[in-house]
Amino acid sequence: MKLVTAVIKPFKLDDVRSALESFGVHGMTVSEASGYGRQKGHTEVYRGAEYTVDLVPKVRLEVLLDDADVDDVVEVIVKTSQTGRIGDGKVWVAPIDTVVRVRTGERGIDAL
């Protein structure tokens, strides 16, 4: 089993969610996050108004998956949340030892 974590732009959440739903992923955890990556925050000039952005608001999305689905799901997330501009985010995958469904006590794949 794997944990797929994606940090993406907030406005992309709805798109990613519906893409994952149609792929067959029905559960996920979403949280509000903020941070910065390589761009270290940035100064923007917009119509003469200059302002700096230190921590950029993002959405963090976590999905638990069977190993077989991981590559496809990562691809779906990356494709849907891409705008091609700085700050599109990251997706990473980590191995998971075990998963337990709290209500029933089921373990492993059954608990997904």
Q: Would you tell me which residues interact with another protein (CB under 8 A)?
A: 9-11, 13-14, 32-34, 46-49, 51, 53, 55, 57, 83, 85
Tell me the C-alpha distance between 59 and 31, whole Å. Answer: 6
Tell me the C-alpha distance between 56 and 34, whole Å. Answer: 5
Q: Least distance from C-beta 3 to another protein, angstroms? A: 22
**Which tokens belong to 101?**
């469904």
Q: Least distance from C-beta 24 to another protein, angstroms? A: 24
Pick between residue 29 and residue 83 the one whose CB is nearest to another protein: 83
